[in-house]
């Protein structure tokens, strides 16, 4: 049967080993999680950039469609005026054509501006995702599982050494300390 001190030292050593392993695996898990979060944020940034490009493309298409619609409206007004025998280049006939043109161009500008705002919003989100990716990657880079494990091991070894020292001092006081071989 082992004496209580041997059991205590053995338990302290086992605890040190388990704590060392636990600190290493916890740090490794935190590193992996931060790397994963950085990758997700980077993917979100890419998607937001795609959304910005898509918003501009959809805006360009819609603006071209509005321009075609404006052209049709101008042609309809012109045909109606000419068909009724009016001169489209004078007076209220000219004013009507200007109104149709102005309203159509205003629609085109509104469509383009809204697309630009959507693209800007998506690019701002992309910048936020990029910043998050950098933060998560910095966290991952700061994790050092080997250092965490070594630190835990050093703390445990220090505790074991302290127990051993106290035990040895107690034996010396009782006159049972470790003796040199030549004594």
CB 53 within 8 A of CB 142: no
Q: What is the pTM of this model?
A: 0.69
Walk along the chain (183 residues) in steps of 10 and give the mean pLDDT of each run: 78 87 90 94 97 97 96 92 84 86 95 97 96 94 88 87 82 64 52
- The string over 142-172, giving b where at least 16 C-beta atoms fall within 10 Å of a residue's C-beta and e elsewhere, is ebebeebbebbbeebeeebeebeeeeeeeee
pLDDT of 179 = 55
pLDDT of residue 180: 54
**Distance separating alpha carbons of residues 137 and 37, to the nearest angstrom:** 8
Region for residue 85 given its phi and psi (left: phi exceeds 0; alpha: psi -120 to 50; beta: otherwise): left
- Please report which residue ranges of 84-144 form alpha helices under DSSP H: 91-142
- pLDDT in the model for residue 87: 82
């Amino acid at each position: 049967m082992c004496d209580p001190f041997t059991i205590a030292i053995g338990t302290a050593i086992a605890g040190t080993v388990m704590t060392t392993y636990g600190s290493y695996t916890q740090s490794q898990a935190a590193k992996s999680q931060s790397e994963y979060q950085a990758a997700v944020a980077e993917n979100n940034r890419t998607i937001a950039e795609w959304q910005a490009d898509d918003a501009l493309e959809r805006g360009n298409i819609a603006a071209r469609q509005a321009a075609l619609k404006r052209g049709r409206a101008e042609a309809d007004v012109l045909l109606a005026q000419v068909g009724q025998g009016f001169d489209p280049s004078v007076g209220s006939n000219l004013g009507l054509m200007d109104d149709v043109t102005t309203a159509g161009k205003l629609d085109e500008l509104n469509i383009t501006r809204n697309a630009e705002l959507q693209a800007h919003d998506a690019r701002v989100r992309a910048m936020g995702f990029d910043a998050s990716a950098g933060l998560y990657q910095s966290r991952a880079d700061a994790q050092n599982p080997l250092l965490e494990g070594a630190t835990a091991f050093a703390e445990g070894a220090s505790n074991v050494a302290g127990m051993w020292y106290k035990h040895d001092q107690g034996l010396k006081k009782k006159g049972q300390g470790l003796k040199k071989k030549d004594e």
